[in-house]
A and B are shown apart, each in its own frame.
Chain A
């Protein structure tokens, strides 16, 4: 390749990685890069806040299966990415965050807009680079993408001083080392151990997280379930790995899991954990989680095995050959399966709620039933997020984009933008709350600018509902700073951004609202008003065992 500037090379490297869209916001230290992207083969989406860029890259990556890219300038631009980088770290999402940095000789002098973004993000990146010379860019760009997407994926930061972007050198793209990108095969002994445990088990349960989908192991997983007929519970991020319509799917487990899922896990004698990590929201009080179970733990990340729970068989590496090797009928689990299916019947959700107001679980169930298999739901954080997880009925994990590990309000709208651009063939609906939507409301301008056909379904309870629920239940109804009585008029707000909107309060209007959300071509905003007092059930109180579920009035039988 001819001599070129560092910034130009970064563009060529992004193109070589097949990146078609990046999300960012310009500023002083990243100006050479912004100069170089004019005429590049990829599209740049100008967000209205760098946090939006990081979340959009996240949504793009999760929906498309490719690496997401976000860009910001130094100092405040870079620090605005931090929440999104942390989110990608917690949820193992492959993104590359490119930040401008002050000129090399100014580093460490408290120069204008200098922050040590490398140091700030050390605990929340899979890896990071501070590029010292243009000559280092070929290796760094190749490695950044490789590290982001291989093994357990995660965010990689590439901090590029302005003079490195401007500096010229002979820069050539380096070939990808596909051998390095292949996940290692799990050991034979670990598979044999697991096979023995499976044959000995009488009451096994599959506890399945987001890792199975990330490992592209869905078909192998579904084949395994079909052959073994073991009942399945999912974590928040695992939802959709087994379609919710499958009889063996019991539901989500954990704090807001269904009763049948938590009971089955508590009673099982073998817990097969696949691509999950014994997160406290899933396990409740860890010491009392699945107390009688031996554990098989399959994960791409060796450090997850044995991190929180003793494991009888740990299968580390590529889950696909392991699942294939373990796929055999297990006739001895028939009785247990019937018990679980009976639990599922006994605790089936009651969607008949009194009154004329919108009952969100029923609305989301209807949305899930009417939506086709090319519908992606992104969520914000709070009660509405849990209702989506419980009631939508996901058929694929990449159809459910939620901030699981970090629980970041403000995720939903920018993630929807990223998802829509990563999967233009899909319909993308962002289910948000009246608190969360305001955290990145500025991205409505991004929807409008690029006419991105994202639909927003705002569940407005005039409250920080999840916090209100906890204050009601665990702080003696002492309500503190949760009332959003003075929300803006969301319909007018949406229209001010140039996006059509409508209001729904009555249950009878829900079917028409859903039809509009599913059929309108451009962006659309549905403002759904509900009772403030609604709670999410069931609920395992914090630090309690999953056996101690509180159930509400009109919910699970």
Chain B
């Protein structure tokens, strides 16, 4: 099952490659990406549809909950949140309407994680 990640990025050198590289390298398969540059050219809003790809161990998929934190530690990431499953919009062709699911309010990271076992 795929999950949607919404990321706001500073429009810095290599920011998009860095983000997509981080997702791919950490064992998640990118299924769809849209990226929109803000009118002032300073930030990108990126929506990434992904699913865990490389398991942690046979039969044990990677938890998707850790991915936003892995993205947030990139210096050019402003925010990164998983879309709430219910609020996830259907996949759209690129450039069609708003690519972003409503952003959940940014919670202070407590470090507690749910875990798929």
Residues on A facing B (Cβ under 8 Å) = 118-119, 122-123, 126-130, 132, 143, 147, 151-152, 186-187, 189-190, 286-287, 297, 299, 301-303, 305-308, 310-311, 313-316
Contact = CB atoms under 8 A, between A and B. Distances in A.
Contacts of A186: 111
B98 to A, nearest CB: 28
Nearest 8 CB-CB pairings of A with B: A314-B111, A306-B113, A303-B69, A316-B111, A305-B111, A127-B75, A310-B115, A303-B70
Contacts of B63: 306
Given A119-B14, A122-B14, A313-B111, 12 more contacts: A118-B14, A119-B17, A127-B75, A128-B14, A187-B108, A190-B110, A287-B60, A306-B114, A306-B115, A310-B115, A311-B112, A314-B113
Given A118-B13, A147-B75, A190 B115 contact: no
Contact of A130 (B13, B21, B108): B13
B72 interface: yes
Contacts of B17: 119, 122
Contacts of A287: 57, 60
Contacts of B73: 151-152, 301-303
B18 interface: yes
A122 B57 CA distance: 27
A146 B117 CA distance: 38
A316 B111 CA distance: 6
B31 interface: no
B55 to A, nearest CB: 12
Contacts of B37: none
A314 B21 contact: no
Interface string B61-76: 0010110011011111
A303 B110 contact: no
Interface of B: 13-14, 17-18, 21-22, 25, 56-57, 60, 63, 65-66, 69-70, 72-76, 108-115, 117
B69 A187 contact: no
B111 A311 contact: yes
A129 B75 CA distance: 11
A187 B14 contact: no
A314 B112 contact: yes
Contacts of A316: 109-111
Contacts of B14: 118-119, 122, 128, 130
Contacts of B76: 127
A123 B66 contact: no
B75 A302 contact: no
A313 B66 contact: no
30 contacts: A119-B14, A119-B17, A122-B14, A122-B17, A123-B22, A126-B75, A127-B76, A128-B14, A130-B13, A187-B108, A189-B110, A190-B110, A286-B56, A286-B57, A287-B60, A301-B73, A303-B72, A303-B73, A305-B69, A305-B112, A306-B111, A306-B113, A307-B66, A307-B70, A310-B115, A311-B111, A311-B112, A311-B115, A313-B111, A313-B112
Given A127-B75, A130-B13, A122 B110 contact: no
A123 B115 contact: no
A315 B18 CA distance: 27
A152 B69 CA distance: 13
A313 B109 CA distance: 12
A11 B2 CA distance: 49
B106 to A, nearest CB: 13
A187 B111 CA distance: 9
A169 B72 CA distance: 34
